[in-house]
Amino acid sequence: MSCHGGDSQAELAPSQSFADIGIETEKQMPIYEYRCEACQHRFETLVLGQDKPECPSCQSQDLDRLLSLPRVHSSTTKAMSMRAAKKRDKAQATERVITQHEYEQSHND
């Protein structure tokens, strides 16, 4: 296997890692996906050492670790993410307008 970095080319033997030949790679963080047995909330969290994760919704530690699938980044997934973000932002903006209107109506002199 060969990898290209800048002007140099390095050969990677099957038993070697990129770090063995002086090429830094992105370090993976131990992020796991869980479902809370108490409230069924699904979430991801960073787990360090022997830390026991807890549900951010109800603080229960009765959790099921789920099988996380690798994330695929492509123009299609980026477009889908942008559409979802725009939809979310529009809903939040509408909610803010409604809340502001209700506040003004209840505090009208």
In DSSP notation, 8-41 reads: EEEE--TT--TGGGT---PPPP-EEEEEETTT--
Burial class (CB in 10 A: 0-12, 13-18, 19+), 86: exposed
Q: What is the pTM of this model?
A: 0.39
pLDDT values of the chain reduced to their tens digit, one per residue, 109 residues:
444 444 444 454 555 555 555 555 455 566 789 999 999 999 988 888 788 899 999 999 999 998 876 666 788 888 888 999 999 999 999 999 999 999 999 987 6
Provide φ and ψ at 53, rounded to 5°.
Answer: -70, 155
